[in-house]
Chain A
Amino acid sequence: MLTFITKRIGLALAIAALSVTLLFIIIHLIPGDPARTMLGPKATPELIAEIQARMGLDKTLPHQILIFFGNMLQGDLGMDIFSNRPVATIVFEQLPHTLALIFSAIAWSATLGIFLGCFSAVRRNSLADRLTGILAVSFIAAPAFVIALYSLLLFAVELKWFPAIGAGTPGDIGDIIWHLVLPSFAIGLSWVGYIARLVRASMLEILGEGHVRTARAFGLPEKWITYRYALKLAILPTVTVIGVGMGFLLSAAVFAEIVFSRPGLGKLVIDSISTRNYPVVMGSVLVSTILFVASTTLSDIVNAILDPRIRQAK
């Protein structure tokens, strides 16, 4: 188990380091100079040179990457040139809002998705199963930001059941949850579909396996077999997918934050792009990438903890 975790974390660190480097290289291969972009067309060459020096852009690429990693390990993501505050501070101020949105979306969509998947699997090929299947596919296909717009239009603007703007008063849990409902609904909907289909497929596979036959031959109650015996196995691939889902939800969250004017990483990036605040954009993208890598790693480890076959593998 310990070896597995160590190996998995090692791989995650390698991927994180690689993706950060790759991001750096891609940005450098793309025509365009951050300093010039930030300062606009009227900037004097002296000013550009000064900003380039402050951002470390005058050094060679490998040198820049080394400096960047060195700083990153100390929690330093550079300085916001406009407000002169550390980028890390700005990003971590916004991060909790995005995390709350993503986790609430995962929580409700996984619960409903697992339920629908089981429901479908035990009623295989019935009308209810087919309808759930079509519903699931439709959920998957619907783009999150359109769902966000439609629910904003219907539930916030027309019906006025939920607030349209913001993340709620800080400290007031009820108000915060109240503001979370619509965005969380919008970005979680397609995950209900994904998870329902996944759970249905793996449930059907498992319900056909020998050990389920054994359980039936011993007269165990059917509910017991479905929920305590089969679901425990069927949930394993779902755990992995939820980890990957974090990346999709990070993307969907950008839209939800814009549509509902919520603070968060996505809104921070969009605002920073319009003010050409380049270091903040990079910092946010970096943090979200690392977040994504961490969540896939975590889900693999949780999976290993839940599955004794992996847990005890040497």
Chain B
Amino acid sequence: MGTDILTIRDMSIHYDTPRGTLKALRHVNVNVPKGKIIGVVGESGCGKSTLISSIIRLLAPNADMASGSITFDGKELYDLSEDEMRGLRGTDISMVFQDPMQTHNPVLTIGRQMTDIQYRDDKTAEQKKARAVEMLTQVGIPDPEARLEQYPHEFSGGMRQRIAIAMALMARPKLLIADEPTTALDATLEVQIIKRLEELQADIGCSILFISHHLGVIAELCDEVVVMYAGEVVEQGSVREVFHSPQHPYTKALLECDPGHIKKKTRNLPTIPGEIPNLVDVPPGCAFAARCPRVFDECHTKRPAWTQIKDGQHALCHLAAKESVQ
């Protein structure tokens, strides 16, 4: 485990809602090796956002960590004081958000916001500004010095996302969390930004937790992939293994539904039949049981274990457990 920058073990996050306790994440396991890019896929509502918020410890006030631990760089994150945690944000762990149009404060200049986040550094205002210019150049913003004086609304969405990346990488973090950073952008911009992110990652050597619902982007960019379903991590492994020999029936179904994977011409796009289970009243056993084509009796009664398939590939499935024993 010494090679992991981030390890999440058996973590459960519950929300206290008027309708009851919403078990948004249940016994989740994720590990992010140093210097690797880990993709996270899953449909909306599967707990991706809760996962991110729990890592940076910015959960909603009604959220509660019911079990588990998050270890970052050898430290247990939930043992840190609020100030110690704040010290990690924007330095060792930083984030790029989904919607670039809302990432920046509309009444402060980009320069002001880029120098403000360096408030911890013992530098003069000129040095901070120089650092901001340097970062903007790296993400490919032309004429960075002049643009520091501008306000967010004077930049396009793609530009703003580049600025967000520049800000996130300014302190050379150990872990960058990118929450669907390209979803709001069009396809050409997406490719450019992914390329830029790859280059910068190689340069800084940080790990990236890259959330996306675009399987193609994950396959292109990531070393490993984490598959989430209804508040659980159902599979993690190298992109090659997971994409070529998926172990969890949900992963298989997800890959079959991806338009990029469909080779035959067809009128009907494949879908996964059935609905996501109610997260307030979670059925015992496997969360995917109701929709699984290979379901058997045990799936409805017993929760599957997090089973290692082969080196580095894990799945949360009774079938995988059986096969690995054989």
Contacts and interface: CB of A to CB of B under 8 A. Distances in A.
A243 B103 CA distance: 31
A306 interface: yes
Contact of B97 (A213, A232, A307): A213
B187 interface: no
Nearest to A307: B107
Contacts of A214: 95, 97, 103-104, 164
Given A209-B102, A219-B88, A308 B151 contact: yes
A210 B87 contact: no
B97 A219 contact: no
A232 B88 CA distance: 26
Interface string A296-314: 0000000000111100100
Interface string A208-219: 011101111111
A213 B99 CA distance: 12
Nearest to B104: A211
Interface string B68-102: 00000000000000000011111100110101001
CB-CB nearest 5 A-B residue pairs: A210-B102, A218-B90, A219-B89, A219-B90, A308-B151
B262 interface: no
Interface string B219-247: 00000000000000000000000000000
A199 B86 CA distance: 27
Contacts of A306: 107
A218 B89 contact: yes
A233 interface: yes
A176 to B, nearest CB: 37
Interface string B94-120: 110101001111111000000011011
Nearest to A211: B105
Nearest to A214: B103
Contacts, number: 70
Interface residues of A, number: 22
Contacts of B120: 219
Interface string A226-238: 0001001100100
B151 A211 contact: no
Nearest to B118: A218
Interface of A: 209-211, 213-221, 224, 229, 232-233, 236, 306-309, 312
B117 A218 contact: yes
Query: Taking chain A's interface residues, is the majority helix, strand, or loop, or is none over half, making it mixed?
Result: helix
Contacts of B89: 216-219
Contacts of A229: 105, 108
Nearest to A309: B153
Q: Find the residue from B87, B105, B154 having the highest chain A CB count within 10 A.
A: B105
B94 A218 contact: yes
A219 B151 CA distance: 21
A309 B86 contact: no
Contacts of B97: 210, 213-214, 217
Contacts of A210: 97, 99, 102-103
Contacts of B102: 209-211
A82 to B, nearest CB: 54
Given A219-B91, A220-B117, A308 B105 contact: no
B8 to A, nearest CB: 18
A221 to B, nearest CB: 7
A210 B49 CA distance: 14
B119 A309 contact: no
Nearest to B99: A210
A233 B105 contact: yes
Nearest to A308: B151
A257 to B, nearest CB: 39
B106 A308 contact: yes
Contacts of B90: 217-220
B76 to A, nearest CB: 18
Nearest to A221: B86
B103 A211 contact: yes
